[in-house]
Structure 1
Amino acid sequence: MSGDRIPVMIPWLGEEEAQAAADAVLSGWVAQGPRVAAFERAFAERVGAEHGIAVSSCTTALHLALVVLGLGPGDEVVVPSLSFIATANAVRYVGAEPVFADVETATGNLTAATVDAVRTPRTRAVLAVHQGGVPADVDSLRAACADWDLPLVEDAACGIGATVGGKSVGHGALIAAWSFHPRKVITTGEGGMVTTDDAEWAERLGRLREHGMNASAAARHASRQPILESYLEVGYNYRMTDIQAAVGLVQLGRLDEIVTRRRALAARYAELLADVPGLTPVGDPAYGEANFQSYWVLPDQDFPASRDQLLSALAEAGVSARRGIMASHLEPAYQGHPSAPLPVTERISRDSLILPLFHTMTEDQQDRVVAVLRQQAAAG
């Protein structure tokens, strides 16, 4: 093995983020406070939403989104199986039933047709994912959901910086959930956000993340007179800290540069892999642009090496790659849950692999990754 090991992902963090976090610590306000409020405003503006509500993770964002929609026991929510398991778990948190729908091969996303195939009289919502930073066709999904009188929740965990029709993912969404995990395009370490244009939902989401209080801790601290808070409903402790938000504000300022770099690296991968037979790389859909939070390739059924053999060959060459996106319906936690036949989901999950892609990746590192794939393709 030559050279250092190539990681699958490294967040792009630097001195500015470190100083912002230090400033938050030195300010004495480290819990949810003014920096969280500033991050919420900046993020909502960036994605074209009226309101942003910062929370502790995208999983908690999804949970709260389903709570404000009033979903509960007896309700079904159509979700893709091809997603990190948190997507389905959030449905279970409110007592509803996730019903797994298939996805299209090119994007890994739900379509109106795959949703319609599993829709029943008990369906109360659709939860679509912008998978790996490849935007879903939300125009057609929103139109279909309007016809069915169903709310569409957007799991935009990987979606920041991706676009549909030239506008940010999340623009015009009924309600969307976002992640700032270190594997995502921008990070706060851990953390999430809910965005919506509905002011009443935004107010309730702000209460729910903070134990259901009608007055936030920040508001009580800012008041010159004592505020005797009330707890209007059972809520949760889903807050983001000001330290995280301080980092998030710096990261948000880097977003355009990060996405431009990731798209350039993805374009170079596509160029290098164009003459490797039997490999189909992920790309932009016709209706939008991906941020390439994940860059995956799908080997043909007759490719000389299996996905697991490719992962082993890459590991031997000092390259950290990952299996493709999981199929939640195949996990023990979801054995027996309702779904349509999911041939595309199972094929993508079984055969695809995620290649390294990160802001500081060099051409030499990309060349090393592609050399292994070329070697495996030639082995047949």
Structure 2
Amino acid sequence: MTRINVMQPWLGEEEVAAVTEVLRSGWVAQGPRVAEFERRFAEHQQVQHAVATSSCTTALHLALVVAGITADDEVVVPSFSFIATANAPTYVGARPVFADVDPVTGNLTAETVAAAIGPRTRAVIAVDQGGVPVDLQAIRAVCDPRGLVVVEDAACGAGSTYRGRPVGAGADITAWSFHPRKVLTTGEGGMLSTNHADWAARARTLREHAMSASAAERHASVLAPPEVYTEVGFNYRMTDLQAAVGLVQLERLTQVVRRRRELADVYGKAIADVDGLRAVADPPWGSSNFQSYWVEVLPEYPLDRDGLMARLAAADVSARRGIMAAHRQPPYVHQTSALPVTERLTDTTLILPLFHQMSESEQARVVEVLREPERSA
């Protein structure tokens, strides 16, 4: 048997050719390809501005900075998310306040957000966990009357939709990831998108050390203008090499999502009648790209989550434990909020292999392992 990985990025000769062209151009740092990727991504996501960054984490950090979140503010976040979601408020000196999530989608809800809001709350970070779109309108109905900034962490969301539009289009500001485990990858890299022109302009400056003249502007001049560093900035730039890959990947996004949804449909039908397994699915308000295909292992199943992972591993199938609970990690253990759904999902979910190149036989092998304990029980 050959190992079935939990994911594999889909990269081909088009990406190789795109990177080669950049290498031959002599301009490999942030430059014209990055600018083109930003324009094309903003158009695709139906927003006015997109700002490329070195990662989704740095995009989240910049989002909070340009939105004016500072020390002593509080930001409501899900604990049921990669730790970067909680780290971003910490970077600006704010306090992340953990809210629980919906037991079906794994996302924040209007009710869990409202329960976590306090007098010092200035923003909410809503995550499209695993690509499942968060119900943003319901959350905005809670946040907008209170003047709270709604940041969407769409790290996993490229290609998912919410009420007929791309996810992220309805937030005040959105952060994206292009890590290799994401549906659209640039190797590493991220993006910030918003309809606030002033926020986008400041983010462009801050990502480049807050220089008054960008590197592209300076290199375009024979006599480079003197630069002024207008505030304390950051080195959060994307390279043209990464953006060249991103442009190819963006062209493929619709095709990739279609394939992932086909694979997800096969999984869903295959385990629908297996007692004790509940699979992630589209919510009523949108469609998922199934960046992660996660399954909850219920008490009725013959094995617990870790037992099922061990059985998959014995068949040379690589699964992953479900989404982490950030409030269990050392930097955040002091948080005392009751998060029963988060803790249950963290302890009972696992992520199954799903990638564009997955063959019918590979998926059948995974399904066979999932159904085997039921037959032998």
Structure 1 residue 126 displacement after superposition = 0.4
Structure 1 residues 175-190: aligned runs within 5 Å: 175-190=173-188
Structure 1 residue 322 displacement after superposition = 0.3
Aligned to 1:358: 355
From 212, 216, 219, the equivalent of 1:218 is 216
Structure 1 residue 142 displacement after superposition = 1.5
- Within 1, Cα distance between the matches of 2:142 and 2:217? 41
Aligned to 1:78: 76
Q: Is the 8 A contact 1:99 1:338 kept in 2?
A: no
- Within 1, Cα distance between the matches of 2:142 and 2:220? 45
SS of equivalent to 1:65 = helix
Deviations 1:255-289 (A, max 9, x none): 00000000010011101111111111000000000
Aligned structure 1 segments of 4 or more residues deviating by more than 4 angstroms? none
Question: Which deviates the most, 38-47 or 268-277?
Answer: 268-277
Aligned to 2:127: 129
Aligned to 1:42: 40
Q: Which runs of 5+ in 1 are unaligned?
A: none
Structure 1 residues 287-326: aligned runs within 5 Å: 287-326=285-324
1:173 has 2:158 as partner: no
- Within 1, Cα distance between the matches of 2:318 and 2:170? 37
SS of equivalent to 1:117 = helix
Aligned to 1:161: 159
What amino acid is the match of 2:216? A
Q: Is the 8 A contact 1:322 1:353 kept in 2?
A: yes
What amino acid is the match of 2:59? A
Q: Is the 8 A contact 1:98 1:337 kept in 2?
A: no
Q: Is the 8 A contact 1:48 1:172 kept in 2?
A: no
Aligned to 1:61: 59
Structure 1 residues 164-313: aligned runs within 5 Å: 164-223=162-221, 225-313=223-311
From 20, 23, 45, the equivalent of 2:21 is 23
SS of equivalent to 1:121 = coil
SS of equivalent to 2:116 = coil
Aligned to 1:369: 366
- Within 2, Cα distance between the matches of 1:143 and 1:32? 38
Aligned to 2:342: 345
What amino acid is the match of 2:287? E
SS of equivalent to 2:296 = strand
- Within 2, Cα distance between the matches of 1:148 and 1:363? 50
Q: Is the 8 A contact 2:136 2:170 kept in 1?
A: no
- Within 2, Cα distance between the matches of 1:152 and 1:319? 38
Q: Is the 8 A contact 2:49 2:196 kept in 1?
A: yes
Percent identical:
62
What amino acid is the match of 1:133? G
Structure 1 residue 228 displacement after superposition = 1.4
1:146 has 2:144 as partner: yes
Q: Is the 8 A contact 1:51 1:196 kept in 2?
A: yes
What amino acid is the match of 1:23? E
What amino acid is the match of 1:287? W
What amino acid is the match of 2:370? L
SS of equivalent to 1:325 = coil
Q: Is the 8 A contact 2:211 2:229 kept in 1?
A: yes
- Within 1, Cα distance between the matches of 2:300 and 2:260? 30
- Within 1, Cα distance between the matches of 2:247 and 2:358? 24
What is the TM-score when the length of structure 1 is the normalising length?
A: 0.98
Count of residue pairs the alignment pairs up: 377
The 1:122–1:379 alpha-carbon spacing in structure 2 relative to 1, beyond 3 Å, is farther
1:378 has 2:375 as partner: yes
RMSD over equivalenced CA pairs, Å: 1.0
Aligned to 2:329: 331
Aligned to 1:10: 8
What amino acid is the match of 2:24? L
SS of equivalent to 1:188 = coil
What is the TM-score when the length of structure 2 is the normalising length?
A: 0.98
